[in-house]
Structures are given as C-alpha cells and as structure tokens.
Amino acid sequence: MEGDSESAMYRDMGLKIRTLHVRDIRFPTSLRHDGTDAMHVDCNYSCAYVIIYTEGDVEGHGMTFTIGRGNEIVVAAVKSLAPLVVGQDASKIFDDFAGFWRKLVNDSQLRWVGPEKGVTHLATAAIINALWDLWANLHQKPLWKLLVDMEPEKLVSTIDFKYLSDVITKEEAIEMLKAMEHGKEAREEEMRRVGYPAYTTQVGWLGYSDEHVNNLCHEYLAQGFTAFKVKVGRDLQDDRRRCALVRNAIGWENKLMVDANQVWDIQEAIEWMKQLAEFKPLWIEEPTFPDDILGHAAISKALKPLGIGVATGEMCCNRVMFKQFLQSGAMQYCQIDSCRIAGVNEILSVYFMAKKLGVPVCPHAGGVGLCEMVQHLQIFDYISLSGTMENRMIEYVDQQHEHFEHPTKIVHARYIAPSMPGYSTVMKIESAEDHEYPNGKVWEELFAKGLFTDPRKQCVYVSPAK
C-alpha cells in the first residue's frame, strides 16, 4: 500500500532527470593549517558538488569530500557516470533503489577502475547523496525523518545485500527495525530537543601552535564539549607534549582520543601507543594502512589490556571491508563516512552489520558537508536501529558550515536534529560560485597574490612533435 500511495504522489511531478551538474569546489584551508595531520600536511578542503535537476521543481544536491588536488578527477568520474542517471525517472529509481545503486557500481566498464573503491566510488557517493536529498525533498522531510518514517521493508529494500548475507540478511535487518518500534517517538523528540553528542577535532590539528590549541580547548569546554581528539604520529616526544597540553586543559574527567591517520607500521603503532597510554586515550584512530584488516586486529588485541580501542573506517573502501573489520574484531569503534563509500544505501548496510556484531558507530565528519550529512545517519540509527548513544559520538569540526543553506546546529555540544527538508547539502549559490576551482573569485584572487599556482598556466604535458 505504501508503494501505491507513493507512486500516486509522484504522478505528474515531472521526476524525469533532465541534467546532472557537477562543480569542483575548493576552500584554501591550507593557509591556516586547518585539517593538518601526520599524513596530510596541506589540506584544501574540497568537494565534488552535484546537483540533479528534474523536469519538475524538485532538485537533489549531493557531494563527496576531498582535500584538494585530485578533486578534478572525482568531478571527471561523476561526469562519466552521469549518462547512467540522466533520463531516468527518479520515482522508478526510488522504487528499486538497491537495483539502481547496483547499476552504478557495477557498470561493466567503469567498475574496472574500482571496483567499488577509490575515485569511482567517491563519485558514486556524490550522485547517490544527491538522489537521497531529492527523495527527502519530495516528501518535504529531513533525510533522517524520511528514513525513520519508512516501513522497515521499504527501507531495507534500498540496500544491496550482495556479499553481506553471511553476516546480515534482509530478513534480519527488517526484524531489527521492527524490534525498535517501541519508543521511537520519544527518541525522535529527544533528538529534536536535546540532540546527539558530539566530539571536537578542532583543537587537535598538528599545524596549530600550543597557544592556539590551549585556547581552543578552553573555548570548546565553554561550549559544553567533553570529548576531544588530537592528531598524532609525526614525532613521539611532540605527541607526548601535546597530549599533556590537552589533558591539562580538558582535565581527566573528559575524553581524549588520538588519530594517527595511517602513518604507522603495526608494531610501531603498538609501541607508540604504549608511550601515550598514560594520557588515557579512549581510542587510537587509523593507526596503520586503512586496508590492513589483520593489522588492525593485531593492534586491537595488543592495546586491549591498556584500555585503548581502535577506531577506523573513514577510509574504508566498501561494505565488504567493513564486514571483515567488524567480523575480525579489528575495530572497536566503527567510523562510517558519508562520502567514502557509495552513499546512504551502502552506509545503511554498515549500520545493520555494526548493530548485529555489537560495535558502536562513531561517524567521521568535519570536511565540506560531512557534518551536515552524517548527523542525519546517526540520528536515524539512534531512533530506529540502535536505540542507544552509549559509546557513541559524532565528530564535529567548526569549518565551512557558513557556506550551506542549512548548516549544522550545535547546542551544548550536541547535534540538534535538522528540521528542513533534504540532506542538508545545499550550498549557498555565492559560496559555490566564489570557490569553484579554478575560475571562482576566491581562487582568482589567490592566484593573483601568488599564494597558489594557477593550474591554467602550468604546462604539465607536451605532446611530442611529429
């Protein structure tokens, strides 16, 4: 019945997709050392920004996050996927969203440059995110509410369970949702009124001075934050000094996490963390190469007696790797990212596996639009699936929110559930135009000042003379 009423609602709305537009948006955050860590030393927060236009009035906005160079490659990948999207009827996509998702990730030629990982998967995420924004706009609901209000069978139908059925099945996922029906209204009201707990990484960038870090710690304490993350991995003695600085500022009653951004070998990670154990970190994030599942398992086992968990997932390529991380005990905190794997459909599958295997989800966020998007997913999880916030937090970084029409709302260090329709992904027109690379106003000014090299004036490759 739900499908019939939905089809009737869509009738005559002009939902055929007439065009897909993608822009290369970049912010010069490297000038202030924002986002710096042991692996990434010159981040310019960026996104491939997709707008899907239908023949009617409804649009869908989506994006995928990068840190500068290479964003143009993701934009090119979006363009290569566009013919699979343009001309489709969005209502038909939503009738079989799992099938459409599978069509994008399994194109017989494009999948060769994946499959289901890397640039093509990032590009797929931008498109899928835009489609979910469109769907939520159709219903005039924020995305989290669209998910919460779906019948369990409908929501589960959006997920591709291929390669996952040894851990989770459609039937199990449906039963999980039905088992959590009791109390949903109260949990929803709690999210609207009180919100979901956040932790901040803003205090911990490696490029910041001690004075700046100390000031930021006190600033975020005053805002109500009780959990703080520090970047580590470049120099052990400097890490010890900076962890001591943050501990002295935030006290021992608050949580401290550390993040190595993949720089260590396995034994190096274990020995390094033994030297930081006195600062009582809750977790070490991305201690080694992001695809090394057995390596993460070894680190987890070695650090367990120290009370330190392993958090990872922001660079996890796809749902199959998440499955193995969760199965093997290689992660104690599951960090989904709203753009790294291919959009909401695939992320939902990770939530269901994490629920079954008893691993708390603490989403990665902070880049362009990541906080805006991931709040919807975690709020859905609390209301409809996990029903608990124990050992769970959403990352928060206070950057680029002013460029969005409906930015995150943080009150007393909690994400307040969004009230506006969509996925919170609509950028302000002026912001998108000014920061489009390389022709936007902001970049033209930076090139003129000599702060960045204009790529239009670089001669990288010259064809040999005939």
Residues annotated as catalytic are 231, 364
Pairing type for strands 333-334 and 46-54 reads: unpaired
- Which residue is associated with the tokens 């969203």? 97
What separation in angstroms does the CA of 278 have from each of 255, 299, 308, 410?
A: 13, 17, 11, 31
Please return the burial class of 268, using the count of CB atoms within 10 Å of its CB with bins 0-12, 13-18 and 19+: middle
Helices 319-328 + 343-357 axis angle, to 10: 10
443, 435 Cβ separation under 8 angstroms: yes
At 399, phi and psi to the nearest 5?
-145, 145
At 193, phi and psi to the nearest 5?
-95, -45
Q: How far apart (Å, rounded) are the C-alpha atoms in residues 348 and 327?
A: 17
Q: How far apart (Å, rounded) are the C-alpha atoms in residues 283 and 271?
A: 15
Helices (H) and strands (E) in the chain, counts: 18, 11
231, 43 Cβ separation under 8 angstroms: no
What separation in angstroms does the CA of 54 have from each of 13, 58, 141, 197, 451?
A: 9, 6, 18, 36, 40
Q: What is the DSSP string of 308-324?
A: -EEEE-TT--SHHHHHH
At 164, phi and psi to the nearest 5?
-115, -10
Q: Tell me the residue type at 317.
A: C
Q: Which of 327, 291, 335 minimizes the C-alpha distance to 310?
A: 335
338, 313 Cβ separation under 8 angstroms: no
Which ranges of 35-116 would DSSP assign to H, the alpha helix?
71-81, 90-95, 97-105
Pairing type for strands 227-231 and 17-26 reads: unpaired
Pairing type for strands 333-334 and 309-312 reads: parallel
**What would the two tokens of residue 293 be?**
């599942």
351, 379 Cβ separation under 8 angstroms: no
